[in-house]
Amino acid sequence: MSYFKFNESEIRPGGHWEPSHCLAQHKVALIIPYRNRRKHLENFLSYMHSFLQAQLIEYSIYVVEQTSKFAFNRGLLFNIGYSTALRYEQIPCFIFHDVDLLPENIEHIYACTNMPRHMSSSVNTFRYQLPYGTLFGGVVSMLQAQFQMVNGFPNRYFGWGGEDDDLFMRVINKGMNIVRFAPEISRYYMLPHIKEQAPPENLEHLQHVTAYQERDGLNDYRRYCSSIKEVSELLYMHIIADVLLPEEYNQVQ
């Protein structure tokens, strides 16, 4: 699939690149939650660097890794990645990206629109169909101000599923709507992995989105981490987060 070449020497440590011969029209940060998928990450990085450089976009790539034994918490990792990235540089546009999705069409511009944008609406494992209209998972791009306004992703979804639907409702609650590009443009190829089922708690959480929107999100994610460490790698900024369960989870268990 990789039909472009990327120039490794032009990439600054921490995975930052900008076109040398012109001024980039868009500046974005890619936030990638990650755990235990070495092969996927290598494929993703080599593919995305060439893809984004072909689009002449100024970008940086932040890979947020969860180290603890608890279930994977995608929403929390996005919040950590977002806050950490903002400490390094001013970024107007964020793209929240799964590590197993690769865009197929070079015309799929990696930038923000005036509304939050669902980018992965046509994925091969769904036969390139959109399963349901409110799907907002996979790859999502949002302006920094909008992400701040909806109070980011929820932190309380441990395990697969639910946090993307929660984010969709947060966006709707704030009076915004989502946009998608044409299916021929937003085609994605999903790297193979085993399908998972959403745990019942996550479905339960979805019943109380509005009540938790101001309490659970960007302003609250620190309660869930014991330490956050940044390592500047050759092709990406590696953020290692030690996730812990806050008080109320311990009481339940």
Partner 1 sequence: MVFSSRPRPRVANPLCCCEYIDKDGERNHILACCCNCVELDRAVDNLCCCRSERRPGCDRVISTVMDRMRIPWIGGAKQLSFDALLPMVLLPCLFGFGALGLSCTVLVFFSMPLLILQLHRVYFRNIPNTKFFCSWTYTSLALIFIIYELLVVPFLEISSEENWVFIGISALSLLSLYKVQTLKQPQSQLDVECAGTNLQSSKVINACDGCGTFLLPRMAHCNTCQKCIPKRELHCLWFGCCIGSHNLLWFLVCLLSLSISLLYSSNLIMTTVCRPYRVWGSLLLPEDCSEVYYEFRFAVCFVSGLYSLVMAVLPVFALLRQCWMVSLGITGSEWRTMPLTHILRLGVTAHRPHSRGLVMNWYYLFACQNMNN
What are the contacts of 229-232 at 24+ separation with CB within 8 A? 230/84, 232/13, 232/14
User: Half-sphere exposure of residue 249, counting CA atoms within 13 Å on the CB side?
Assistant: 13
Residue 160 engages partner 1 in binding (rule: CB under 8 A): no
Residue type, 69: K
Q: How far is it, in rounded angstroms, from Cα 75 to Cα 96? A: 10
In this complex, which beta carbon is closest to partner 1, that of residue 129 or of residue 253?
Answer: 129
In this complex, which beta carbon is closest to partner 1, that of residue 39 or of residue 87?
Answer: 39
Neighbouring CB atoms inside 10 A of 90's CB total: 8
For the segment 169-188, give every residue that binds partner 1 (CB under 8 A). Answer: 187
Among 132, 145, 177, 252, binds partner 1 (CB under 8 A): 132
In this complex, which beta carbon is closest to partner 1, that of residue 8 or of residue 107?
Answer: 107
Question: Which has the closest alpha carbon to 235: 88, 83, 44?
Answer: 44
Residue 194 engages partner 1 in binding (rule: CB under 8 A): yes
Neighbouring CB atoms inside 10 A of 123's CB total: 24
User: Smallest gap, in angstroms, from Cβ of residue 195 to partner 1?
Assistant: 7
The b-or-e profile of 10-23 (16+ CB within 10 A means b, else e) is: ebeebbbbbeeeee
User: Smallest gap, in angstroms, from Cβ of residue 114 to partner 1?
Assistant: 29
In this complex, which beta carbon is closest to partner 1, that of residue 123 or of residue 167?
Answer: 123
Residue 127 engages partner 1 in binding (rule: CB under 8 A): yes
User: Smallest gap, in angstroms, from Cβ of residue 133 to partner 1?
Assistant: 11
Residue 21 engages partner 1 in binding (rule: CB under 8 A): no
For the segment 213-232, give every residue that binds partner 1 (CB under 8 A). Answer: none
> Count residues contacting partner 1 (CB under 8 A)?
14
Residue 39 engages partner 1 in binding (rule: CB under 8 A): no
Among 70, 128, 160, 249, binds partner 1 (CB under 8 A): 128
Residue 192 engages partner 1 in binding (rule: CB under 8 A): yes
Residue 88 engages partner 1 in binding (rule: CB under 8 A): no
Residue 3 engages partner 1 in binding (rule: CB under 8 A): no
The residues binding partner 1 (CB under 8 A) are 124-129, 131-132, 187, 189-190, 192, 194-195
